[in-house]
Amino acid sequence: MTPWQLARLRPGAAFPPPEQAWPAESPYPGLLAIGGRVDAPTLRSAYAQGIFPWFGEDEPPLWWSPDPRMVLLPRDLKVRRSLRQSARRYAADPRFELRVDSAFEQVMRACAAPRDGAPGTWIGPSILRGYVDLHGQGLAHSFELWRDGELVAGLYLVALGAAAFGESMFTRIDDGSKVALMALCGFAQHHGLRFIDCQQQTAHLASLGAEAWPRERFLRELRQARTLEGPASWQYDWAQFRQHCAAWL
Protein backbone atom coordinates (compact mmCIF):
# COMPACT_ATOMS: atom_id res chain seq x y z
CA MET A 1 0.00 0.00 0.00
CA THR A 2 1.39 3.40 -1.00
CA PRO A 3 1.21 6.35 1.43
CA TRP A 4 -1.64 7.90 -0.59
CA GLN A 5 -3.98 4.90 -0.58
CA LEU A 6 -6.65 4.61 2.09
CA ALA A 7 -8.10 1.36 3.37
CA ARG A 8 -11.89 1.13 3.12
CA LEU A 9 -13.48 -0.93 5.86
CA ARG A 10 -16.65 -2.96 5.77
CA PRO A 11 -18.50 -3.45 9.07
CA GLY A 12 -16.62 -6.04 11.12
CA ALA A 13 -13.54 -6.00 8.88
CA ALA A 14 -10.05 -6.02 10.38
CA PHE A 15 -8.05 -2.81 10.54
CA PRO A 16 -4.89 -2.47 8.46
CA PRO A 17 -1.63 -2.20 10.42
CA PRO A 18 -1.22 1.24 12.05
CA GLU A 19 2.09 1.66 10.22
CA GLN A 20 0.07 2.09 7.00
CA ALA A 21 -1.40 5.40 8.20
CA TRP A 22 -0.74 8.41 6.00
CA PRO A 23 2.67 10.01 6.67
CA ALA A 24 3.56 13.49 7.88
CA GLU A 25 3.87 14.94 4.37
CA SER A 26 0.34 13.85 3.41
CA PRO A 27 -2.76 16.07 3.58
CA TYR A 28 -4.05 14.16 6.62
CA PRO A 29 -1.15 12.75 8.64
CA GLY A 30 -2.13 9.69 10.66
CA LEU A 31 -5.28 8.85 8.68
CA LEU A 32 -5.47 5.06 8.37
CA ALA A 33 -8.88 3.91 7.15
CA ILE A 34 -12.43 4.95 6.29
CA GLY A 35 -15.72 3.19 6.89
CA GLY A 36 -16.84 0.40 9.16
CA ARG A 37 -18.93 0.77 12.30
CA VAL A 38 -18.29 2.79 15.46
CA ASP A 39 -19.67 0.17 17.84
CA ALA A 40 -18.20 -1.24 21.04
CA PRO A 41 -16.47 -4.31 19.48
CA THR A 42 -14.89 -2.18 16.76
CA LEU A 43 -13.78 0.48 19.23
CA ARG A 44 -12.22 -2.13 21.50
CA SER A 45 -10.34 -3.65 18.56
CA ALA A 46 -9.20 -0.22 17.37
CA TYR A 47 -7.84 0.97 20.72
CA ALA A 48 -6.08 -2.34 21.29
CA GLN A 49 -4.13 -1.63 18.09
CA GLY A 50 -3.42 2.05 18.74
CA ILE A 51 -6.19 3.32 16.45
CA PHE A 52 -9.00 5.77 17.25
CA PRO A 53 -11.97 7.34 15.41
CA TRP A 54 -12.27 11.04 14.64
CA PHE A 55 -14.72 12.45 12.09
CA GLY A 56 -17.49 15.00 11.65
CA GLU A 57 -21.22 14.32 11.72
CA ASP A 58 -21.52 14.47 7.92
CA GLU A 59 -18.51 12.20 7.32
CA PRO A 60 -18.13 8.42 7.28
CA PRO A 61 -16.08 6.94 10.13
CA LEU A 62 -12.42 7.93 9.85
CA TRP A 63 -9.75 5.99 11.76
CA TRP A 64 -6.38 7.40 12.82
CA SER A 65 -2.99 6.35 14.15
CA PRO A 66 -0.73 9.44 14.14
CA ASP A 67 3.05 9.46 14.33
CA PRO A 68 4.20 10.86 16.68
CA ARG A 69 1.62 10.12 19.38
CA MET A 70 1.09 12.53 22.27
CA VAL A 71 1.29 10.68 25.60
CA LEU A 72 1.09 11.81 29.22
CA LEU A 73 2.82 9.80 31.92
CA PRO A 74 0.64 10.30 35.02
CA ARG A 75 3.58 11.31 37.22
CA ASP A 76 4.63 13.98 34.71
CA LEU A 77 1.47 16.09 34.88
CA LYS A 78 2.46 19.76 35.27
CA VAL A 79 0.36 21.44 37.95
CA ARG A 80 0.86 25.19 37.93
CA ARG A 81 0.14 27.44 40.88
CA SER A 82 -3.30 28.56 39.70
CA LEU A 83 -4.39 24.95 39.14
CA ARG A 84 -3.04 23.93 42.53
CA GLN A 85 -5.09 26.68 44.14
CA SER A 86 -8.24 25.64 42.28
CA ALA A 87 -7.79 22.00 43.26
CA ARG A 88 -7.34 22.88 46.92
CA ARG A 89 -10.39 25.13 46.85
CA TYR A 90 -12.71 22.58 45.26
CA ALA A 91 -11.47 19.72 47.45
CA ALA A 92 -12.15 21.79 50.59
CA ASP A 93 -15.58 23.08 49.54
CA PRO A 94 -18.45 20.83 50.76
CA ARG A 95 -20.56 21.90 47.78
CA PHE A 96 -18.20 20.03 45.42
CA GLU A 97 -18.09 16.27 44.81
CA LEU A 98 -15.56 14.24 42.87
CA ARG A 99 -17.10 11.19 41.25
CA VAL A 100 -16.23 8.50 38.71
CA ASP A 101 -18.73 6.92 36.32
CA SER A 102 -21.86 8.39 37.85
CA ALA A 103 -22.93 10.18 34.63
CA PHE A 104 -20.84 8.91 31.71
CA GLU A 105 -23.28 9.79 28.94
CA GLN A 106 -23.94 13.20 30.48
CA VAL A 107 -20.19 13.90 30.44
CA MET A 108 -19.99 12.91 26.78
CA ARG A 109 -22.92 15.16 25.88
CA ALA A 110 -21.32 18.05 27.76
CA CYS A 111 -18.06 17.48 25.86
CA ALA A 112 -20.02 17.57 22.58
CA ALA A 113 -21.83 20.84 23.34
CA PRO A 114 -20.83 24.03 21.46
CA ARG A 115 -18.23 26.15 23.22
CA ASP A 116 -17.92 29.94 23.05
CA GLY A 117 -20.00 30.19 19.91
CA ALA A 118 -17.99 27.51 18.11
CA PRO A 119 -19.66 24.49 16.46
CA GLY A 120 -20.07 21.26 18.41
CA THR A 121 -17.18 18.84 18.60
CA TRP A 122 -16.69 15.61 16.66
CA ILE A 123 -18.79 13.66 19.20
CA GLY A 124 -21.80 12.81 17.04
CA PRO A 125 -24.60 10.28 17.60
CA SER A 126 -22.66 7.22 16.41
CA ILE A 127 -19.65 8.14 18.57
CA LEU A 128 -21.95 8.67 21.55
CA ARG A 129 -23.67 5.29 21.14
CA GLY A 130 -20.42 3.42 20.66
CA TYR A 131 -18.66 4.82 23.72
CA VAL A 132 -21.74 4.52 25.95
CA ASP A 133 -21.86 0.83 25.01
CA LEU A 134 -18.14 0.57 25.73
CA HIS A 135 -18.79 2.15 29.14
CA GLY A 136 -21.43 -0.48 29.75
CA GLN A 137 -18.74 -3.11 29.24
CA GLY A 138 -16.49 -1.44 31.83
CA LEU A 139 -13.98 -0.21 29.23
CA ALA A 140 -14.79 3.53 29.24
CA HIS A 141 -14.97 5.80 32.27
CA SER A 142 -15.72 9.38 33.29
CA PHE A 143 -14.13 11.55 35.98
CA GLU A 144 -16.60 14.20 37.14
CA LEU A 145 -16.82 17.34 39.28
CA TRP A 146 -20.21 18.20 40.75
CA ARG A 147 -21.31 21.38 42.54
CA ASP A 148 -24.54 21.35 44.55
CA GLY A 149 -25.69 18.29 42.61
CA GLU A 150 -24.91 19.77 39.18
CA LEU A 151 -22.27 18.38 36.82
CA VAL A 152 -19.81 21.24 36.19
CA ALA A 153 -16.69 19.56 34.73
CA GLY A 154 -15.40 16.21 33.60
CA LEU A 155 -13.58 14.04 31.13
CA TYR A 156 -13.99 10.58 29.66
CA LEU A 157 -11.52 7.92 28.61
CA VAL A 158 -11.09 4.37 27.37
CA ALA A 159 -9.08 1.89 29.45
CA LEU A 160 -7.59 -1.41 28.30
CA GLY A 161 -5.41 -3.23 30.80
CA ALA A 162 -2.95 -0.69 32.21
CA ALA A 163 -3.39 1.75 29.31
CA ALA A 164 -5.69 4.78 29.36
CA PHE A 165 -6.82 6.74 26.32
CA GLY A 166 -8.06 10.26 27.04
CA GLU A 167 -10.88 11.37 24.77
CA SER A 168 -12.42 14.73 25.65
CA MET A 169 -13.10 17.05 28.57
CA PHE A 170 -15.29 20.02 29.42
CA THR A 171 -15.70 22.56 32.21
CA ARG A 172 -18.10 25.24 33.34
CA ILE A 173 -15.86 26.45 36.18
CA ASP A 174 -12.26 27.69 36.37
CA ASP A 175 -9.78 24.83 35.92
CA GLY A 176 -12.53 22.24 36.34
CA SER A 177 -11.42 19.88 33.56
CA LYS A 178 -7.78 20.19 34.66
CA VAL A 179 -8.75 19.20 38.22
CA ALA A 180 -10.52 16.18 36.72
CA LEU A 181 -7.29 15.40 34.86
CA MET A 182 -5.35 15.70 38.13
CA ALA A 183 -7.76 13.17 39.63
CA LEU A 184 -7.24 10.81 36.70
CA CYS A 185 -3.45 11.11 37.02
CA GLY A 186 -3.56 10.51 40.76
CA PHE A 187 -5.84 7.52 40.22
CA ALA A 188 -3.57 6.23 37.44
CA GLN A 189 -0.45 6.39 39.60
CA HIS A 190 -2.16 4.60 42.47
CA HIS A 191 -3.59 1.84 40.28
CA GLY A 192 -0.60 1.33 38.00
CA LEU A 193 -1.94 2.74 34.74
CA ARG A 194 1.16 3.16 32.60
CA PHE A 195 0.23 6.12 30.41
CA ILE A 196 -2.61 8.32 29.17
CA ASP A 197 -2.82 8.53 25.40
CA CYS A 198 -3.57 12.11 24.32
CA GLN A 199 -3.61 11.29 20.59
CA GLN A 200 -2.76 14.51 18.73
CA GLN A 201 0.31 16.67 19.32
CA THR A 202 -0.59 20.17 20.57
CA ALA A 203 1.13 22.95 22.52
CA HIS A 204 -1.63 22.80 25.16
CA LEU A 205 -1.01 19.12 25.87
CA ALA A 206 2.74 19.77 26.01
CA SER A 207 2.12 22.49 28.60
CA LEU A 208 0.40 19.87 30.77
CA GLY A 209 3.41 17.56 30.59
CA ALA A 210 2.56 15.32 27.65
CA GLU A 211 5.33 14.32 25.26
CA ALA A 212 5.46 13.08 21.69
CA TRP A 213 6.31 9.40 21.26
CA PRO A 214 7.20 7.82 17.93
CA ARG A 215 4.40 5.49 16.88
CA GLU A 216 6.73 2.50 17.18
CA ARG A 217 7.35 3.26 20.85
CA PHE A 218 3.67 3.92 21.54
CA LEU A 219 2.60 0.61 20.02
CA ARG A 220 5.31 -1.26 21.94
CA GLU A 221 4.27 0.33 25.24
CA LEU A 222 0.61 -0.35 24.44
CA ARG A 223 1.25 -4.04 23.82
CA GLN A 224 2.99 -4.29 27.18
CA ALA A 225 0.29 -2.34 29.03
CA ARG A 226 -2.47 -4.52 27.63
CA THR A 227 -0.91 -7.61 29.22
CA LEU A 228 -1.30 -6.05 32.68
CA GLU A 229 -4.41 -6.10 34.83
CA GLY A 230 -6.35 -2.87 35.05
CA PRO A 231 -7.87 -1.27 38.17
CA ALA A 232 -10.23 -3.52 40.11
CA SER A 233 -12.33 -0.50 41.14
CA TRP A 234 -13.00 2.85 39.52
CA GLN A 235 -14.35 4.61 42.60
CA TYR A 236 -12.73 7.92 43.58
CA ASP A 237 -13.41 10.79 45.99
CA TRP A 238 -11.74 13.85 47.51
CA ALA A 239 -10.07 11.85 50.30
CA GLN A 240 -8.30 9.67 47.73
CA PHE A 241 -7.57 12.72 45.60
CA ARG A 242 -5.79 14.45 48.49
CA GLN A 243 -3.81 11.29 49.20
CA HIS A 244 -2.79 10.42 45.66
CA CYS A 245 -2.26 14.03 44.48
CA ALA A 246 -0.43 15.22 47.58
CA ALA A 247 2.76 15.94 45.63
CA TRP A 248 0.83 18.47 43.49
CA LEU A 249 -1.12 20.06 46.32
The pTM of the full predicted model, rounded to 2 decimals, is 0.95
Does residue 2 carry a pLDDT above 60? no
Q: What number of H helices and E strands is found in the chain?
A: 8, 11
Please say whether the dihedral angle defined by the alpha carbons of residues 136, 139, 142 and 143, taken in this order, is positive or negative: positive
3-state helix, strand, coil in the chain (%, to 5): 35, 25, 40
| pLDDT number for residue 215 | 97
33-47 per-position pLDDT tens digit: 999 999 999 999 999
pLDDT tens digits, 80-110: 999 999 999 999 999 999 999 999 999 999 9
pLDDT of residue 116: 67
* Sheet of strand 195-199, all strands in order from the earlier edge strand to the far edge: 96-100, 140-147, 150-160, 163-171, 195-199, 69-72, 211-213
Q: How far apart are CA 236 and CA 155, in angstroms?
A: 14
**Average pLDDT for 116-128:** 76
**Whether 225 contacts 219, CB under 8 Å:** no
The answer to whether 99 touches 230, Cβ cutoff 8 Å, is no
Per-residue pLDDT tens digits for 209-244: 999 999 999 999 999 999 999 999 999 999 999 999
In the predicted structure, residue 4 carries a pLDDT above the cut 90: no
pLDDT exceeding 90 applies to what percent of the chain? 88
